[in-house]
Chains A and B, each alone.
Chain A
Amino acid sequence: MKIKTILAAGAMTVAAVAAHNAQAGAVLDGIKAKGFVQCGVNTGLPGFSSANAEGKWEGIDVDICRGIAAAVLGDANSVQYTPLTAAQRFTALQSGEIDILSRNTTATTTRDAKLGLTFVGINYYDGQGFLIPKALGVTSATELDGATVCVEPGTTTELNLADYFRAKGMSFEPVVIENINEATAAFFSGRCDVYTTDASGLASIRTTMAENPDDYVILPEIISKEPLGPVVAQGDEQWSDVARWSFLAMVEAEEFGVTMGNVDDMKANSTNPGIQRLLGVSPGMGEALGLDEEWAYRIIKNVGNYGESYEKNVTAKLGLERGINALWTDGGLQYAWPVR
Chain B
Amino acid sequence: MSENAKLPPLPVGTFVERAVTWSRKNLFDGWFNTLLTIGSIAFLLWLIPPLIQWGIVNATLAPTIEGCAEVTGACWGFVNANLRLILFGTYPYEEQWRPLLAMIVLMGIICASLGGVKYPSVRKWIIPMWVVGVPIIAILMWGGVLGLTYVQNSYWGGLPLTLILSAIGIIFAFPFGLLLALGRQSNMPAIRTASVVYIEIIRGVPLITVLFMASVMFPLFLPDGVSIDKLLRAQIGIILFTAAYLAEVFRGGLQAVPRGQFEAGDSLALSYWQSMRLIILPQALRLVIPPTVNSFISMLKDTTLVVIIGLFDFLGTVKLALRSDPAWTKYYVEGYAFAAAIFFLICFSMAKYSAYLEKELRKGEQR
Contacts and interface: CB of A to CB of B under 8 A. Distances in A.
Chain A partners chain B? yes
Interface of A: 13, 17, 20-21, 43-47, 50-57, 80-85, 87-88, 91-92, 94-97, 181, 204, 207-209, 317-318
7 shortest interchain CB distances as A-B pairs = A44-B323, A95-B219, A20-B224, A208-B326, A55-B90, A54-B93, A83-B310
Given A44-B320, A80-B152, A317-B325, A55 B330 contact: no
B93 A55 contact: yes
A60 to B, nearest CB: 14
Contact of B310 (A43, A50, A94): A43
A208 B310 contact: no
Interface residues of B, number: 46
B324 interface: yes
Given A43-B320, A44-B323, A54-B84, A80 B216 contact: no
Contacts of B321: 51, 53
Contacts of B320: 43-44, 50-51
Contacts of A20: 224
A94 B85 contact: no
A53 B84 contact: yes
A208 B332 CA distance: 13
A87 B45 CA distance: 46
Contacts of B316: 43
Contact of B227 (A17, A45, A96): A96
Contacts of A21: 224
Interface in B316-363: 316, 319-327, 329-330, 332
A91 B326 contact: no
B127 interface: no
B91 A55 contact: yes
Contacts of B212: 87
Contacts of A204: 326
A92 B321 CA distance: 24
Contact of A317 (B89, B157, B326): B326
B222 A95 contact: yes
B92 to A, nearest CB: 7
Q: Is the interface of B mostly helix, strand, loop or mixed?
A: helix
B219 A91 contact: yes
A92 B215 CA distance: 9
Given A51-B320, A91-B215, A97-B227, 12 more contacts: A20-B224, A44-B320, A50-B324, A53-B82, A80-B154, A87-B308, A94-B220, A95-B220, A96-B227, A208-B327, A209-B330, A317-B326
Nearest to B308: A85
A20 to B, nearest CB: 4
Nearest to A47: B326
B110 interface: no
A43 B90 CA distance: 11
B239 to A, nearest CB: 21
A17 B216 contact: no
9 contacts: A46-B324, A46-B326, A50-B325, A53-B82, A55-B88, A85-B309, A87-B216, A94-B220, A317-B326
Q: Is the interface of A mostly helix, strand, loop or mixed?
A: mixed
B309 A88 contact: yes
A95 B227 contact: yes
A45 B325 contact: no
Nearest to A30: B225
A44 B90 CA distance: 12
Interface of B: 81-82, 84-85, 88-93, 96, 152, 154-155, 157, 212, 215-217, 219-222, 224-225, 227, 230, 307-312, 316, 319-327, 329-330, 332
B160 to A, nearest CB: 13
A46 B324 CA distance: 6
A83 B92 CA distance: 15
A44 B329 CA distance: 11
B181 to A, nearest CB: 34
Contact of A55 (B89, B152, B227, B307): B89
A54 B88 CA distance: 10
Contacts of A97: 219, 227, 230
A57 B81 CA distance: 17
Given A55-B90, A56-B90, A96-B224, A45 B323 contact: yes
Nearest to A201: B326
Nearest to B312: A83
Given A55-B85, A81-B154, A83-B312, A209 B92 contact: no
A43 B311 CA distance: 9
A304 to B, nearest CB: 20
Q: B85, B227, B319, B326: which has the most chain A beta carbons within 10 Å?
A: B326
A322 to B, nearest CB: 18
A13 to B, nearest CB: 5
Given A83-B310, A88-B309, A17 B329 contact: no
B329 A209 contact: yes
A123 B88 CA distance: 31
A31 B308 CA distance: 28
Nearest to A36: B152
A13 B219 CA distance: 11
Nearest to A204: B326
Contacts of A44: 319-320, 322-324
A223 to B, nearest CB: 23
Nearest to B328: A208
A60 B244 CA distance: 44
Contact of B329 (A52, A53, A88, A208): A208
B308 A91 contact: no
B310 A46 contact: no
A318 B219 CA distance: 36
Nearest to B336: A181
Contact of B324 (A43, A52, A82, A85): A52
Nearest to A87: B216
B310 A53 contact: no
Given A53-B82, A87-B216, A88-B310, A81 B323 contact: no
A50 B219 CA distance: 25
Contact of A91 (B93, B220, B225, B327): B220
Given A43-B320, A80-B154, A88-B216, A54 B312 contact: no
B154 A82 contact: yes
A44 B309 CA distance: 13
Nearest to B83: A53
Contacts of B96: 55
Contacts of B215: 88, 91
